[in-house]
Structure 1
Amino acid sequence: MLVIRPITEADFPALMRCAEESGHGFTSLPVNEELLRGKIEHSLESFSKEVISPGIEGYLMVAEDTDTGEVVGTTGIEAAVGLDVPFYSYHISKVVHSSRKLGVHNIVELLTFGNNYTGCSEICTLFLRPQWREGLNGRLLSKCRFLMMGEHPQRFSKTVFAEMRGVSDEEGHSPFWEWLRDHFFSIEFTHADYLVGVGQKGFIADLMPKLPIYVSLLSDEAQEVIGQVHEKTRPALRLLEKEGFTNRGYAAIFDAGPTVECDMVNIRSVYQAFHCNVEISKHSSQSDYLVSNTEFQHFRAVAGKVDVNRTLAKARISPEMADALQVNDGDRIRLLAQ
């Protein structure tokens, strides 16, 4: 069984292993000891704070195998991006160039550089090691964040978004970035990606074109990948789309991967979750649920079989699940049917 819990300082080696395995384009997990330790420290501070509205908090969690104690994945939430360090994105829009006199009518796409997601909550840093990508594990790692948001909504923004990894190859070559590099940056995608990951974003404001970019002026290869997702990220995108997330015309500034968003109250796993009181005993139910406790600093979430009586608001869970969730008989839990 996997249990999702807040990260601790002891999890640093496992987080570094996830960073090394995540590959190019995974900006939120750079292979940098100082930065990763800083992320852990910031998460510890964020989980310990009393919060009545979202700020610069960052919540980083890990997936632990309860049988072996091994940490096999990570997932996170930024409560409100762009408040301390600018968060940049492209907005994809259209303009019309027309001349009635000449009988010409052209619709042209533009990429406009901006900070429109400032103050919004970002779900991020989702990575599960390949050998654990089975059963409900992937869904648990993604949806546990929505169980947390639904239970503690004051800590998060009205709008929740996710920046999906765009198209790049195994060597880290991004067709979109190559066009930007040739005209504005003169550094490789992997270098730019690393600089953003370690928080050195000043070069973006210094070098990024400030005026809108006409998409038709880009190379054919760059145009083709705008709004397209990396093949390894397609399952994560499909899961978010089922939750109600949609692309409202925003793309990442380096690889042009799609940004998807949803109002928190409209996220399926937020509004479909419900509460029950715990009864700890063995049972024969075959119904799958994602389950979390109602704590924040000691948040726990698991996936497994639960015997639910909605009428009585009772949920029978196994002793093993109760131990993972750190709950006792009569405690309140949050459930989401699968």
Structure 2
Amino acid sequence: MSLAFMRPVRRDDFDQVLALAKLSGGGMTNLPSEAEALRPRVEYAVESFEADADHPSGEVYMMVLEQDGKVIGTSAVFSAVGLDYGFVNYRINKTVHASKQLKKRIERRLLVPTHDFTGCAEVGTLFLSPDARGGGYGKFLAKARYLFIAQHRKLVADPVCAEMRGWRGSKGEQPFWDSLGRLFFDMEFEDADLANSSMGNQMIADLLPRHPIYVALLPKAAREVLGKPHNSALPAFNMLLSEGFAFRGYIDVFDAGPLVDARIDDIKSVRESKLYKVKIGDPESGPQFLIAAGRLSTFRVVRSEGMVDGDTITINKEAARALGAKNDDEVRALKW
């Protein structure tokens, strides 16, 4: 089995990426399982790597994890979101009602539509083939994005956010959508999610309630899932928290999944990664590193043994080949 490596998505990856998307179970707006919605996203990602941008202007840097010629996972960095139509979330606010006559003080929560993260960067589209789980590849997919950000600081807006899939029952129940979104969008969740994937956020701006909504007016089942991630998204959610991301009361307008955010300099993997000169040799039984090389279309990440000596890291030939690195090239490494 060859060394798995992360690289930019290519047009000829489409069929494999679509197959992965169909395994996701739905609800991943940025990885739709319908070909007509996914194809323009892959195409735009390829164009983003080819564009050689000099500032964040909406590019999508989607990457795939490849092993033995097969795509086994995806993840992406969105340079700046919502520039065309806005990036809308609900913020859970607190409001207080008080009556001196009745000697009552009542606190209530409000769902307030907000554009607070319009123009920020986003990490997302993280999905790993079920056949590849258990080998640390989910962690690989997540951390490779932060190495990309560290290598391309001028191309990624600050702060960075991440939206998690909201909770869904074992039979597909979605209490938040059923009690709120359905009333205003007049369609099934899957249809709304597909429309959002293929048409952009303008439909949200057009149809989303324009006024705050009292949480107390929602059914109990809907109230209980506010900010609750999908069961399958819980490991990714916990990884984000361990990286320094924080949940500050922002949720998705469709499924109430949590949105977390962090300043780039506060992301653990960005902060702890270091630049080294490459030496190709035999690192023997050195510790594992996540190692990144290249820029944009040549960007690659591998997980391999390495031996650090000052500002030099010794890696083996297989890792160097996967990275496209030669002696004295500069790489960024993060201890695994």
Aligned partner letter, 2:248? R
In structure 2, how many angstroms separate the alpha carbons of the residues matched to 1:267 and 1:89?
22
User: Is the deviation greater in 203-212 or in 293-302?
Assistant: 203-212
Residue pairs, 1:108-187, within 5 angstroms: 108-181=108-181, 183-187=183-187
| Contact preservation (8 Å) 2:52, 2:296 | no
Question: 1: distance between equivalents of 2:295 and 2:182?
Answer: 50
Aligned residue number for residue 223 of structure 1: 223
Deviations 1:135-161 (A, max 9, x none): 331111111111011111000111000
TM-score in terms of structure 1 length: 0.95
What is the CA distance between 1:220 and its match in structure 2? 0.2
Cα distance in 1 for partners of 2:216, 2:12 equals 50
Q: Could you tell me which residue of structure 1 aligns to residue 326 of structure 2?
A: 328
**Contact map agreement 1:80 1:156 (CA 8 A) in 2:** yes
Report the counterpart of residue 8 of structure 2 in structure 1: 6
Change in Cα spacing, 1:212 to 1:35, as seen in structure 2 (3 Å) is same
Q: How many residues align?
A: 334
Query: Which aligned pairs between 1:252-331 and structure 2 lie closer than 5 A?
Result: 252-309=252-309, 312-331=310-329
C-alpha distance in 1 between matches for 2:155 and 2:19: 29
Q: Aligned residue for 2:33? A: 31
In structure 1, what is the Cα distance between the partners aligned to 2:37 and 2:222?
31
Distance 1:288 1:79 in 2: 29
Number of the residue aligned with 2:199: 199
C-alpha distance in 1 between matches for 2:321 and 2:223: 51
CA contact (8 A) 2:26 2:33 kept: no
RMSD: 1.4
Structure 2 gap segments, 5+ residues each: none
In structure 2, the residue matched to 1:56 is 58
For 1:79 and 1:265, how far apart are their aligned partners in 2? Answer: 16
Q: Partner letter of residue 277 of structure 1?
A: K
| Partner Cα distance (1:200, 1:242) in 2 | 31
User: Could you report, residue by residue, the CA deviation over 1:93-127 in whole angstroms, capped at 9, with x for unpaired residues?
Assistant: 00100012321100110001122111000101111
Cα distance between partner residues in 2 of 1:171 and 1:199: 28
Shift of 1:171: 4.7
Point out where structure 1 has 5 or more consecutive residues left out of the alignment: none
SS in 2 for 1:297: helix
Shift of 1:58: 0.8
1:262–1:182 CA distance, 2 compared to 1 (3 A):
closer
Q: Provide the identity percentage.
A: 38
Q: CA deviation at 1:44?
A: 1.8
Counterparts of 2:58 and 2:167 in 1: how far apart (Å)?
29
Q: TM-score, normalised by structure 2?
A: 0.96
1:242 aligns with: 242
Contact in 1 for aligned 2:8/2:64 (Cα 8 Å): yes
3-state SS of 2:284 partner: coil
